Amino acid sequence: MNSDKPPADIVESPRIEPRLPPGQVRTEKWPVLHHGLVPDVDLAGWDLTIDGLVANGQRWNWEEFQKLPRARVHSDIHCVTRWSRYDNLWEGVSLRSVIALAAPKPEARFAIIHAEQGFTTNLPLSELLADDVLLADKHDGQALTPEHGWPLRLVVPRRYFWKSAKWIRRIELVDHDTPGFWERNGYHNEADPWREERFADW
Ligand SMILES: Nc1nc2c(c(=O)[nH]1)N[C@H]1C(S)=C(S)[C@@H](COP(=O)(O)O)O[C@H]1N2
Ligand SMILES: [Mo]
């Protein structure tokens, strides 16, 4: 992965300088962080929905989701708790490819990401349309473990990692921004690691 020419089918998340954002410390490990318990997901009852301000609402069960075109993204992780993990290889489905299938209406400007157990996070739709944003079911060649988001997590490499919702189930497109779980609990709305947007300044 350190060669100058990565395989053509791997999307390189754009490198922002400095590679290590301010106030971060590099780790080789991959810590586990979340609110609440790891959900006990049953694939037989699992689905992923895209709804809200879309012309063609979408829903896939697990089997259908596995048939969507696959994509790979190489990116760094930056957690608000100050660890960064370089060179993660994510595999799954490009978020923008499935949002395109849903045909967002012109008024759709934000997304509320819904995960198991009521967890939510919010992002501008424009950021979710970047080609390095993935719905990932594999990391470094292995199926995600339950604690890291199996069966499916969002990966938004250019934001602090709390925006990368684990156990994702629904993408709701809306016309106005609505703070999600961590955003209501003191975290910054935008979460840009290079601007150190860690906490809301209230
Ligand atoms: N569903 C859900 N996703 C979540 C969270 C959560 O509480 N629930 N926490 C976020 C936070 S704060 C972080 S730092 C990352 C951690 O991901 P990891 O455990 O795979 O390192 O998951 C994010 N995704
Ligand atoms: Mo976090």
Distance from C-alpha of 169 to C-alpha of 187, rounded to nearest angstrom: 22
Ligand 1 atom closest to 32 (CA): 19
Which CATH superfamily includes the segment(s) 45-195? Oxidoreductase, molybdopterin-binding domain (3.90.420.10)
3 CA to centre of ligand 1 in angstroms: 30
Q: Which two three-digit tokens encode residue 144?
A: 């995600």
The percent of residues in the chain predicted with pLDDT above 70, rounded, is 97
Distance from C-alpha of 128 to C-alpha of 34, rounded to nearest angstrom: 21
Predicted local distance difference test score (pLDDT) of residue 201: 78
Judge whether residue 41 has pLDDT over 70.
Answer: yes
Ligand 1 atom closest to 116 (CA): 1
* Residue 72 host element (H or E): strand 71-78
Amino acid at 110: F
Give the number of whichever ligand sits closest to the CA of residue 166.
1
161 CA to centre of ligand 2 in angstroms: 6
Mean pLDDT, rounded, for 37-66: 98
Mean pLDDT, rounded, for 52-80: 98
Domain ranges of the chain: 45-195
114 CA to centre of ligand 1 in angstroms: 13
Ligand 1 atom closest to 36 (CA): 7
Task: Evaluate whether 107 touches 133 at the Cβ level (below 8 Å).
Answer: no
66 CA to centre of ligand 2 in angstroms: 28
Pocket around ligand 1: residues whose beta carbon is below 6 Å from it?
30-35, 79, 115, 119, 148-149, 161-162, 164-167, 182
Mean pLDDT, rounded, for 105-134: 98
Mean pLDDT, rounded, for 171-200: 97
Mean pLDDT of the chain: 96
Judge whether residue 16 has pLDDT over 90.
Answer: yes
Ligand 1 atom closest to 147 (CA): 19
Predicted local distance difference test score (pLDDT) of residue 131: 97
Total number of residues shown for the chain: 202
Q: Which two three-digit tokens encode residue 114?
A: 């819904």
